[in-house]
Amino acid sequence: MPPASHTSGSSSYLGLPSNALGAGAGIMRPGTPMPTLADPNPFGITVLGDTGFPTPVESVVFTDDRSVLLYKPFFQRDHDGRMSTSSHGSGHEDSEMPRHLPGHELDVPLYLERAGPRKHLFFNPSHVVAGIVTCGGLCPGLNNVIRGLVSCLFYRYHVKKCYGFRYGYEGLNPAVGLPPIELTPAEVKDIHRFGGSVLGSSRGPQDPKVMVDYLVSLGVNVLFTIGGDGTQKGAHNIAMEAERRGIALSVVGIPKTIDNDIAYCAKTFGFETAVAMSLDPIAAAHEEARAARGGIGIVKLMGRDSGFIALHAALASGDVNLLLLPEVPFNLPTIFAIVEERLRTRDHVLIVVAEGAGQDLCAADAGDEKDKSGNSKLHDVGVFLKNKLGAHLKGKQIEHTIKYIDPSYTIRSAPACATDAVFTVSLAQQAVHAAMAGKTDLIIGQVHDEFVYIPIPKAVERRKKVDITSVLYQTLLDNTGMPLDLCKIMDV
């Protein structure tokens, strides 16, 4: 029977006074006085037990469990210019923070445990059997993460066996009949050059009892789950089932969402590749629009609930005239008026729309279908806009030509760009370090350019959204000249 699990990051981390902060991005170093606070740390990390095995990893610096990161190190300035009260990352000034949080999470500073190699491990590396699973939609960088995990396990920790589970969580259900693949450095040496996932993927949950039974039968004691919030909810269920049985199973998630919408994470892999690859379709739509009298180019980009890809791509392009995001409500009369004015003055218009935008407007055309992950199936807002704009302009006898481009599958199946390739290697290595130290029920995230551990329940409690009060969104408004209020002209 393994030692009882416990939570690292005691509540004393939360009471850190502002003058105890060292230089840097809110990092609290070991040895800093930490007054006790009664409130538990909402970002405390579960550990399987005591760490008694020395690490085989050579490291320039090892990370201590007591080293934490201040989530939002904001300060307010007094009228005389002196620095005064620290917000301690409490969320008061953070529009990304949800307003339904328990009172103590809004009133006390929030700290996250820093990731990195530990001097002492929970697992004896020679006894570790690892497993890797990829779930959900494709995303640039999946193969990079798989390769990074395998390389770190074998070359740094000298782990001898790693299974790759095929086609998502279906591969963890033996009744489906998908035997795992044994992954070695030789097997994964070139996979980072290609898009997709060598393990395949699928959507939908499986019974955590069945999955834990299967992991135990294979001797797996470390599981890496690569996927979005649905995948990580499944990972949490696996971790809870293992804990209920007293099984020492480390479950570590690598967040995969091309939409960049995981809570508390500054970015997720695949996002920068998606933005870069969106520029060619936008440029093509722009040229098509400019080449015709009354030319209209519409490009639909990924972004189910959050419009980060569309926002960043629109800014990077510099040619977009109208951007439609899930976070910004709009109505058709306002869109019609903007397009008509643009055609009157410049004779062409370029529109970028995130796939989750305007779903309330096109929902009447179809029912609310669900996919295997339980998400509502999106209506094609690009086709909807094309049809509605075309009908409106035709009715007013305004000459026009509309070209619609949807590059979604081309983008998500692409290999990772250079910056995403670097990022995925770091994520993979930090995940291995966490698992070998006995950390569990967490994902690896990045805050203030530091890698941190985020408990899965916190990571999946909400989705990160575009902040329309941010400098970035104001930059978009200044760049396009589009109005802040896209419901200005109401339906008659």
Q: Is residue 383 part of a domain?
A: yes
Instruction: Tell me the CATH number at 323.
Output: 3.40.50.460
Note whether 308 and 352 are same-domain residues: yes
Q: What is the pLDDT of residues 240-295, one digit of tens each?
A: 999 999 999 999 999 999 999 999 999 999 999 999 999 999 999 999 999 999 99
Q: Is residue 76 part of a domain?
A: no
Note whether 290 and 385 are same-domain residues: yes
The Cα 191–Cα 189 span in angstroms is 6
Note whether 173 and 276 are same-domain residues: no
Note whether 285 and 398 are same-domain residues: yes
- Rounded to 10°, the helix 229-245/208-218 angle is 70
Q: What is the pLDDT of residues 382-429, one digit of tens each?
A: 999 999 999 999 999 999 999 999 999 999 999 999 999 999 999 999
Q: Is residue 313 part of a domain?
A: yes
Q: Is residue 289 part of a domain?
A: yes
Note whether 208 and 295 are same-domain residues: no
Note whether 134 and 239 are same-domain residues: yes
Reported as a pLDDT band with limits 50, 70 and 90, residue 373 is low
Model pLDDT, residue 41: 75
- Structural domain including 223 reads 123-268+414-443+454-459
Note whether 140 and 239 are same-domain residues: yes
Per-residue b or e along 385-408, where b marks 16 or more CB atoms closer than 10 Å to that residue's CB: bbebbeebbeeeeeebbbbbbbbb
In sequence order, the β-bridge partners of residue 486 are: 330
Q: What is the pLDDT of residues 194-245, one digit of tens each?
A: 999 999 999 999 999 999 999 999 999 999 999 999 999 999 999 999 999 9
Reported as a pLDDT band with limits 50, 70 and 90, residue 458 is very high
Query: Higher-confidence residue: 170 or 73?
Result: 170
Note whether 404 and 323 are same-domain residues: yes
Model pLDDT, residue 76: 60
Model pLDDT, residue 70: 83
Note whether 253 and 356 are same-domain residues: no
Note whether 156 and 253 are same-domain residues: yes
Q: Is residue 44 part of a domain?
A: no
Q: Is residue 309 part of a domain?
A: yes
Instruction: Tell me the CATH number at 192.
Output: 3.40.50.450
Q: Which of 229, 259, 420, 441 is catalytic?
A: 259
485 catalytic? Reply is no
Note whether 198 and 278 are same-domain residues: no
Q: Is residue 400 part of a domain?
A: yes
Note whether 360 and 278 are same-domain residues: yes
Provide the domain count of the chain.
2
Q: Is residue 253 part of a domain?
A: yes
Model pLDDT, residue 86: 46
Query: Could you tell me which residues come within 8 angstroms of residue 459 by beta carbon, excluding any fewer than 6 positions away?
Result: 229, 232, 253, 255, 262, 263, 264, 265, 443, 445
The Cα 379–Cα 62 span in angstroms is 49
